[in-house]
A and B are shown apart, each in its own frame.
Chain A
Amino acid sequence: MNRSVRTTLRVTNTAIYVFLLAPLVIVAIASFGATSYLRFPPQGFTFEWFGRALSDGVYWSTFYTSLWVGVVSALAATVIGLLAAYALGRYRLRGSGLIGAFFLSPLIMPTLVFAVALLIFFATVWGPPGIWRLVAGHLVITIPYVIRTALPVIEQLDASLNEAAADLGASALTTARTITVPILAPTVLVSFGLAFLISFDELVLALFLAPPSAPTLPMQIYSNVQFGLDPTVGAVSTMLLVLTAAFMVVGQLITARFTPTVPSTTPQED
């Protein structure tokens, strides 16, 4: 590649990165502005909106709802997904290709269509109470990510390690505790983190399934931004961006330290 091509490419890509990151950076910068609505470029400088966001009970209660939904969904999705991935990765099953495709199929289903289907089903036939409807929906969209993250690792598990442990007199439980669990631990952590992040950020299923009495944080942000450019929402968004970045760094550190391959992370779109 000659010099001029390289320079052109570099300039073009810098512009594309600006485009890709502009909305996030602009929200973050504008949330420090002193005007009563978010504007860019900002005028003045203040921490007032961060103070207001942190002292606003609505943001805290919706944050706790999202946290609860995220943790419960991610825990259950990790357990259910790992069990399925273990069955698919460790055993020779009749039709395992088909079963795997079935478990991954929510990935190719638009979340919006799934949300309407669940809404109508819960409203007309049967549904768990309140917030559990949302948890049920989040389980289905996060389990495929758990399976996709864990399956390659489980397939690589060396069966001879377990056999060696058994030959040396270890019980099944000891083998699981000393061999299988330590090998799978980073995968479990990454699966859980990914499932949590997807559930925590998810909006469409929440709009269709969460009870009006217990909105999630994305719902709260969504309903606030519909009515104008509230700088408090900007402050909340900025804090969430920082949290997400921290989460990403931790996830990268875990994967870099324990596994040679990076799992594909392609969360759903709202």
Chain B
Amino acid sequence: MSTPTSTSPPESARGGPVTSTKRRRISPTPWLLLIPGAVLYLLVFVVPQAGLLAQSISPDGVAVTTEHYEAVLGDRFALGIIWRSIWIAALVAAACAVLGFPLAYQLSRSTSRFKGLLVALTLFPLLTSAVIRTFGWQVIFYETGPISTFFSWFGADVTLIGSQAGVIIALTQVLLPFMVLTLQGVIRNIPVALEEAAQDLGDGPIAVFTRVLLPLSKGGLLGGSLLVFSLAISTYVTPALIGGARVQVVATTIYQQAISLVNYPRAAAFAVVLLVITGIVVLVQTRLLSGESAAARGSER
């Protein structure tokens, strides 16, 4: 999941294959090319989403009820699950911002011949299945695994499997590449000359960071954090395998309601709530990004 890039072709490419003299001719061909995709989307994307909404407010298709939203938003236990999910996702986003910045900074400033390898190493976890990555954390977090063994040397009993901290650590690793990718694009556009100028004027490394880099990459940090937040709150595998029944979040609850309990209306209501949360995040993100690019354009002139 990520923000769709702009799809309108640049003005110069708009003419398409038709020559300038025939530019205005309306051809049926492009519309025919769009039909297979449009039919597919209508059948298995648009209509099912509408069905989801319908299922949550009117399971039998006749009477309208708010019962299932009351069970989600009016129930202390269910609300607790929602808040926990938001809290976990927020912490994961913050952790990704902190860890992602130095990595993205080095990747975008690097002139090393190993740069390609470093980028590939960052991307590689993204292309591997989330199940396998989470499986690795299970091995690390297990009761007799390396983390617990390490802490037992100091007499501490630490088991991260089944804990909120474990879910946060694993999710941070799973989603960190998204943050690095977002930040890399932003930092690359900050001229090195600005950092050098600040240094020449006597700024130390910390001042360069807080007064030059941070303000200029604020948009990227926020955008990346929002992306990671919405991915973290809707990821199922990691909380299911690391947190289990002890760390219930919205994603695992949806699965439980839909698959284990076959309570479709309840699952639908939870899903719509999740959709609204991520929808708000996407809205904020697009507002931010459009503001950001407008500001960037302004500063170029």
Contacts and interface: CB of A to CB of B under 8 A. Distances in A.
Which of B52, B129, B235 has the most A CB atoms < 10 Å from its CB?
Answer: B129
B291 interface: no
Nearest to B175: A269
Nearest to B4: A104
Interface in A231-270: 233-234, 237, 240-241, 244-245, 247-248, 252, 264-270
Given A93-B30, A139-B40, A27 B135 contact: yes
B62 to A, nearest CB: 14
Given A16-B102, A83-B36, A229-B139, A120 B48 contact: yes
A189 interface: no
Interface of A: 1-2, 4-5, 9-10, 12-13, 16-17, 19-27, 30, 38-41, 79-81, 83-84, 86-93, 96-97, 99-114, 116-125, 136-137, 139-140, 143-144, 147-148, 151, 155-156, 159, 162-163, 197, 201, 203-204, 207-208, 218, 221-222, 225-226, 229, 233-234, 237, 240-241, 244-245, 247-248, 252, 264-270
B254 to A, nearest CB: 6
Contacts of A96: 7-9
B236 A204 contact: yes
Contact of B44 (A4, A104, A136, A234): A136
A143 B259 CA distance: 27
B41 A103 contact: yes
A240 B131 CA distance: 11
Contact of A222 (B55, B121, B237, B258): B237
B127 A247 contact: yes
Interface in B51-108: 51-52, 55, 99, 102-103, 105-106
A90 B135 contact: no
Contacts of A267: 126-127
B114 to A, nearest CB: 12
B140 A110 contact: no
Contacts of B133: 23-24
A233 B135 contact: yes
A114 B120 CA distance: 30
Given A26-B139, A265-B126, 7 more contacts: A23-B132, A89-B9, A91-B29, A97-B6, A99-B34, A116-B271, A265-B123
A196 B172 CA distance: 26
Contacts of A247: 127
Interface residues on B, range: 35 or more
Contact of A266 (B43, B44, B178, B235): B178
Contacts of A5: 205
B154 interface: no
A270 B130 contact: yes
B193 interface: no
B4 A101 contact: yes
B128 A244 contact: yes
B234 interface: yes
A155 B30 CA distance: 14
B144 A110 contact: no
Contacts of B34: 83-84, 87-88, 99
Given A23-B173, A90-B30, A269-B130, A120 B264 contact: yes
